[in-house]
Amino acid sequence: MAIGFIGLGNLGSAIVKRLLDQKEEVKIYNRTKSKVEHMGLDIANSPKELVEECDTVFMCLFESAAVENIFEMQNGILSADLKGKTIIDLTTNHYEKVLTFHEKIEKKGGNYLESPIFGSVPPALQGALTIVTSGKESTFELCKPFLQKIGKEIFYLKEKGKASKMKLINNLCLGSFMATIAECTALGEACDINKSELLKILGVGGGQSLVLKGKTQKLIDEDFSAHFSNSAIYKDLHTLQDLAYSMNQPLYTAAIPKELFGKMKKEGKGEEDFCSIYKLFK
């Protein structure tokens, strides 16, 4: 039986390609059908139709509001018979909203696995994503073979909501690292240090990180086509601050990167890759 997939943005499309490379049959649903017709895949007319024809359905959407829409819309997921069906949600969800997603799917007799992914387009194409999952252990074990087709490192945090919180914490590192790398790059250029040489030195020195490794060539080429957008990291850091506020936990290093990515979005660069924050410093 085909795997269902909802959400064919940059990352979702890369994951679908990986599943196809793994010889999986994939059927898709996308809000705008014309945007995915070129993929040559079987396209469902609604989320309900997709769930009815696929036992396992992945979702990879921008935010919780989009997930809720897929659930609640006319002919949405919740209008289908969900008994025996499993939803694997790769979306970076709000830590509170995701609890309602577990509840709604389970109430209808389905299985829901909260599975935010760490990584962008290149690791998705290689099956090298990191995935953190929360939900029933039986659902996790059921879904693990599918997750292993797209992920290299897979972690299970049983309590519902914890995977979503972990993803936000990870993205604090991601956003902070990117802002610092971008500022170092611009400062080095101002010191008349060749950018390629500068990034090479940082890559074996204090700047050594997966973030720098992944963004070095994009910074050299000033290629800001999106693997992970400014809008996405801005949204995640905002949600992280919501989490910290709810815990009465001050955050010190999250505020400035969040506002820098917010400025990029305000300047109309929200859909550029988040390494384009470099332009603010340059």
Contact 172, 92 (CB under 8 A): no
Q: Strand pairing of 117-118 and 3-6?
A: unpaired
Tell me the catalytic residues. 167
Contact 270, 234 (CB under 8 A): yes
Distance CA 181, CA 193 (A): 15
Distance CA 226, CA 265 (A): 13
Contact 111, 86 (CB under 8 A): yes
CA-to-CA dists, residue 62 to 19, 141, 232, angstroms: 20, 26, 7
Contact 7, 59 (CB under 8 A): yes
Distance CA 178, CA 172 (A): 10
